[in-house]
Amino acid sequence: MKVSVIAGSSSDAPFVKEVVSILKEFGVKTEVKVLSAHRTPYELQRYVEEAPGRGVELFIAVAGKSAHLPGVIAALSILPVIGLPVPVKHLYGVDALLSMVQMPPGVPVATVGIGETKNAALLSISILSLKYENLRSALKDYREKMRRKVLSSQIDVE
């Protein structure tokens, strides 16, 4: 099982690192690439089209501003694509979020919240768990730990 994490810019590195860290915790192999939908369209196309041959089963596209990266990937591949919008200077990621969720019919991109690296990684694990029992089991364990943490939480109001 392998997930390709594609960043639209090297400035997206902190978000990419968080996603990859969580995927590695679950034993998911990753490829990381910086490719722009606008500045390197031909290289992006070649990379996406060759990805299944390298064992890639899912893409996470990390992008800000106009954020066309996940949509272009989805147009080039039938593999699942998760868009991770990242906050940038002026509109704080709202522009990226809207670019990702407003895909035309027939070219879906699953999109998580702005900067929500954990959700991008966990959604990819959830999708892959349909095929890999070990991920399904690990995800159940993860959710159980979250449940226990909430149940053991207290708020002191005095």
120-129 tens-digit pLDDT: 999 999 999 9
Task: Find out whether 100 and 65 touch, Cβ atoms under 8 Å.
Answer: no
CATH 3.40.50.1970 fits 2-151, yes or no: yes
Helix (H) or strand (E) holding 19: helix 13-25
Residue ranges of domains in the chain = 2-151
What 8-state DSSP symbol labels residue 128?
H
Strand 56-63 to strand 81-85: parallel, antiparallel, or no bridges (unpaired)? parallel
In whole angstroms, what is the distance from residue 109 CA to residue 72 CA?
A: 10
Count CB atoms within 10 A of the CB of residue 2: 16
49-106 tens-digit pLDDT: 999 999 999 999 999 988 999 999 999 999 999 999 999 888 889 999 999 999 999 9
